Amino acid sequence: MHPNLEKLLKLQIIDYDLGELERSKDYHPDMMENLQREINEAEQKLTDANTQLEEGKVRQKNLELEIESKETELQKYQQQMMSIKTNKEYDALVAEIDNIKTGISTRETELLETIELVSTLEESIQQLAEKEKQVRENNTKQLQILQEKIDSIGSKVSDKVGSRKTIISSIPRPTLSTYERVRKGKGGRVVVVVKKRACGACFKALTPKKIQEVKAGEEICTCDACGSLLYWDDEESN
């Protein structure tokens, strides 16, 4: 293999790593945002359930007090029945007693529904609390890992940039210009292996003459179809 081609292969790996590091600057924050959103949603569900539970308990207590008050009132009216003297008074008192009984029955139904709701919420809160704890612990660990990766990106980029400068300083300018031009146009791999006597990038078959030139490694050869820089590997190229 031509010596400069070996350097370009190393340069290509560095450029790929730099590209991955730059892309990670975008997707790492997105991943962290999603993880934090999951934590917030789990916490909010637990908070909402606890709020509903407290409201349910307050309503249960109020209904119990209201039923107790109406039962006291009912007893009072029932005692008054003993002193009724006219049919008119009797009918009015019976109507009032029936009204109170209806109110008690309605409140008792509401109370049973509220007690059932409170019981359901208490069970649900246990499950939500376990889920919130699990999500918080798991996601917090992932957030720490991602933050560490983000914090290390700067130093990794600096190291790669330093290595890149060292390599390109040893590559002839015309050769480097060819590499940069093809890299800019292709947006991917520039130096590719010949695979089964074809270009490893565009898969166009190479002429026998081109194959011999690539195998000789005396000069840097390019694919006539896509411009990729070619090298030969006995295991992959034959």
Whether the pTM exceeds 0.75: the reply is no
Residues 137 and 215 in one domain: no
Q: Is residue 228 part of a domain?
A: yes
β-bridge mates for residue 188, sequence order: none
Q: What is the pLDDT of residues 106-123, one digit of tens each?
A: 999 999 999 999 999 999
Q: How confident is the model at residue 236 (pLDDT cuts 50, 70, 90)?
A: confident
Residues 190 and 120 in one domain: no
* pLDDT at 141 > cutoff 80: yes
Residues 66 and 148 in one domain: yes
Residues 83 and 183 in one domain: no
Domain holding 41, by residue range, is 26-153
Q: Is residue 11 part of a domain?
A: no
* pLDDT at 102 > cutoff 90: yes
Q: Is residue 105 part of a domain?
A: yes
Q: Is residue 20 part of a domain?
A: no
Question: What's the total number of domains in the chain?
Answer: 2
pLDDT of residue 26: 80
Residue ending a domain, choose from 121, 153, 185: 153
How far is residue 219's CA from residue 39's CA, in Å, rounded to a whole number?
Answer: 58
Q: In percent, how much of the chain has pLDDT > 70?
A: 100
Residue ending a domain, choose from 123, 153, 183: 153
pLDDT of residue 54: 97
Residues 217 and 128 in one domain: no
* pLDDT at 238 > cutoff 80: no
Q: Is residue 166 part of a domain?
A: no
Residues 87 and 190 in one domain: no
pLDDT of residue 35: 97
Residue 79: CATH number of its domain? 1.10.287.1490
Q: What is the pLDDT of residues 24-41, one digit of tens each?
A: 888 888 999 999 999 999
Q: Is residue 17 part of a domain?
A: no
**Mean pLDDT, residues 56-70 taken together:** 97
Q: Is residue 61 part of a domain?
A: yes
Residues 196 and 91 in one domain: no
Q: How confident is the model at residue 176 (pLDDT cuts 50, 70, 90)?
A: very high
Q: How confident is the model at residue 235 (pLDDT cuts 50, 70, 90)?
A: confident
